[in-house]
Amino acid sequence: MATITAQTGTERINYLNVRTTVASWLLTLDHKRIGILYLLGITLFFFLGSLAAAAIRLELATPKGDLMTSDTYNKMFTIHGVLMIFFFLIPSIPASFGNFVLPMMIGARDVAFPRLNLLSWYFYMIGGVLATIALLKGGIDTGWTFYTPYSSAFAKGEVSLAIVGVFLVGFSSIFTGINFLVTIHKMRAPGMTWFRLPLFVWAMYATSLIQVLGTPVVAITLLLVAVERTFGIGIFDPNRGGDPILFQHLFWFYSHPAVYIMILPGMGVISEVIATFSRRRVFGYHFVAFSSLAIAIIGFLVWGHHMFSTGQSIYAGIVFSFLTFLVAIPSAIKTFNWMATIWKGRVHWEAPMIYALGFLGLFVIGGLTGLHLASLATNVHLTDTYFVVAHFHYVMVGGAIMAYMAALHYWWPKMTGRMYPQSWAKLAALMVFVGFNLTFFPQFILGYMGMPRRYHSYPEEWWALNLLSSAGASILGLGYLLPAIYLVWSLKYGRIAEKNPWGARGLEWEVVDTLPHPHNFERTPIVTRPAYDYAHPEEPTAIFPAPRPAYVGGGGKDG
């Protein structure tokens, strides 16, 4: 593949200006452009899912169902769940930032299979459009879990169409996982050994294992629901000889590891951000790297804790409870090592770091409250209450989305070549943190008091906490809206970014131009230093080999 080194006037060729037509974007094989395409699609589905969340909180601001009917409310939380989980949280960091920076981090010019990478985006967008049509065309009220036999026998609406949409996005996830696994194994630059890899790459490697091994299970399971619904074959419906508990086993066998598809890439982002803005190598690098693999492996063994109240064997429940406590250990290792990295570090209070610190606080609360749900004794009282809603959102929104926002602000200069106003970014981070806690912490109390999830009306004694939660959601929404304004503003008016505005260590910052070259590197770098080598700032992370001299001699025996 030829390397483009031409200049356009005084502007160096980069991945944004090398071609500027719409077709050049829709047919691109450049991993960076595909990452941007994913970012745009993910933002769209996040916006739609957020509108449904706003409608839910507006309904719950009063005890009586006076804004929408119970049927409409069920459709709203289904829209919210399906779009946020399958079309935002799962692909958010891997498909956008993973695509954009992972090849640059390991010294590769692109991913291993560029065409498969583009195909994965088309599967994602087609699946998203089909699911959105199904959710809006009359709506479906099954919840994001599609539990049988309701979804396969009784639910009205375009359930099968929504399932096809989720099925297609599953292919997108599998393609992305395969691409990253092969890229990390086969395309690392010379000198980029496994223990010189950035921890974001380790996290993406573990995530890709889950995507490749787990996603086919839920894809086939949902396809069976559509088959049962369409042809009346008894698979999960007990009236037809099926077993609805089998559906739950198959669904959660993927969907609990899917939690780690959502959170592991975020953990990788937090490692990058904390190391950069603490000016220290991540404490316990090897432990943090292997803990990602441990989470991926143990995560496949704990699905039964979602089914403690379904009547499964008490002995199976004990095993799943123990394994659920066990999976918390690798996450705790990461958390303590991040805190040790910050300790005595030279902390720089930039916006990505504030988001990272917000991640730590919220993720710890989410993790600790998960222990109550892992315990057989307390789970029976808390299951299907707002305690579960709060726990899930503290881990997923407080964890994955805070990390997503940290990544967006951290790599924005590399993606756009522009800086955003730090004061506004810090204000937005604080608004998200405060608004999030006001929204979801009261839900722990409501759940402990017994308020069931998915109800659109409730006793008046729970009104004050629900009103506080809805008020917090307004602040949270403004905190999300603010970056959309100043980041778009920065595209035209933002200060031009330096090559390495954060003073970070890593190939994507030290070697790659401010706006990356279409093929990342004009020559393949040779990595000479370990990751996060802030103790030796004078030593470059990589060097370039001397260019080969041009061949000028004649050929043949007369030459």
Q: Which of 314, 313, 316, 312 shows the shortest CA–CA distance to 301? A: 316
Q: Give the residue-averaged pLDDT of 459-477.
A: 97
Q: Which amino acid appears at position 171 of this protein?
A: F
User: Is it the case that residue 317 has pLDDT exceeding 60?
Assistant: yes
Alpha helices (H) in 449-521, listed in sequence order = 463-493, 507-510
Give the model's pLDDT for residue 469: 97
Q: Domain of 47: which CATH number?
A: 1.20.210.10
Q: Is residue 38 part of a domain?
A: yes
Q: Is residue 286 part of a domain?
A: yes
For the ranges 3-12, 182-191, 211-220, 380-389, the lowest mean pLDDT is seen at: 3-12
Q: Is residue 23 part of a domain?
A: no
Domain enclosing residue 100, as ranges = 30-543
Q: Is residue 9 part of a domain?
A: no
What secondary structure letter does DSSP report for 452? B
Q: Is residue 7 part of a domain?
A: no
Q: Is residue 56 part of a domain?
A: yes
| Lookup: tokens for 114 | 């560029």
Q: Is residue 553 part of a domain?
A: no
Q: Which amino acid appears at position 420 of this protein?
A: Y
| Model confidence pLDDT, tens digit, residues 109-138 | 999 999 999 999 999 999 999 999 999 888
Per the structure, how many domains does the chain have? Answer: 1
Please report which confidence band the pLDDT of residue 10 belongs to, taking 50, 70 and 90 as the band edges. Answer: low
Q: Give the residue-averaged pLDDT of 267-282.
A: 96
465-484 residues labelled b (16+ CB within 10 A) or e (exposed)? bbbbbbbbbbbbbebbebbe
Give the model's pLDDT for residue 549: 56
Q: Is residue 550 part of a domain?
A: no
